[in-house]
Amino acid sequence: MATIRAYHSTNSDFKRLDDSFLGANTDDNATDYYWAQTAHLGFWFNVGGNLSIAYNKQQMECLLEIENPIEVDSIETLALWIESQEKTGEELRSELQEQGYDSIIVTNDEEYGGVSYVVFDAANIEIKKTMNMI
């Protein structure tokens, strides 16, 4: 199992992750339905990018425990995958979990830069600290 230190940017104040909120912010501002569905795949984290461009109030430093990720090259690839399968983000996540995957690695995050990790289960995430951005 790999442990990765990564960051999550948010405007919400919370102490634990809850998948019932997946996509809550993205649904209102994504360029189209399928891009919005990528936010429903799981909890998004970034390494090496610029999360400050999100203009969010907080940045959370987290430890991610991932064992069997599937790798894609971009968020656009994820959106096209969801569209081609005619699925929601939740449906694709369930399908990937049934196949034994626990996360997605996005090697070229065109929104923030760097590498992004999408973790399916909040139990695999430890929030280490929260920092105010604004």
pLDDT per position as a tens digit, 78-98 = 999 999 999 999 999 999 999
- Amino acid 114: pLDDT: 86
Starting at the earlier edge strand, list the strands of the sheet with 43-47.
69-72, 103-106, 115-119, 43-47, 2-10, 58-66, 125-132
- Amino acid 18: pLDDT: 57
Query: Cα(68)–Cα(27) distance, rounded to whole angstroms?
Result: 28
> Mean pLDDT over residues 59-76, rounded?
92
Of all residues in the chain, what percent carry a pLDDT higher than 90?
46
Structure tokens at 122: 């909040």
> Mean pLDDT over residues 8-26, rounded?
63
Contact present, 22 and 118 (Cβ < 8 Å): no
Of 13-17, 36-40, 48-52, 80-84, where does the model show the most confidence? Answer: 80-84
